Amino acid sequence: MTDEERARRDAALRELDDLTAAYEAAEKVLDERRDALHSAIVKHLMERNARPGEVEKHTPYDRNHIRRIAQAAGVPPLRERTVRSAKAS
């Protein structure tokens, strides 16, 4: 490998290292902001400040994803089930 080829390879690897570091930093910020958003969603659903449909309009998530976030955090449903299984009768 010539000195010129070695220099180009080293420059390419440095560029990749720099871009990878920037990507990982951005990913860390994204993860922190996502966690903060999920915490706020759970907080407001627990405190009954906003219904899931309202939360949907103000977040990037649909109702189903909001429900999954709420269930994972142990948020109780707004109302109890009214339909009972026919097998339980």
pLDDT of residue 89 exceeding 80, the answer is no
Rounded to whole angstroms, the Cα distance separating 67 from 13 reads 44
The model's pLDDT over 36-62, given as tens digits with 9 standing for 90+, comes to: 999 999 999 999 999 999 999 999 999
The model's pLDDT over 10-32, given as tens digits with 9 standing for 90+, comes to: 999 999 999 999 999 999 999 99
- Positive/negative CA dihedral, 62, 63, 64, 66: positive
Q: CA torsion 76→82→84→89, rounded to 10°?
A: 120
Q: Does the pTM exceed 0.95? A: no
If pLDDT is split at 50, 70 and 90, which confidence band does 71 have?
very high
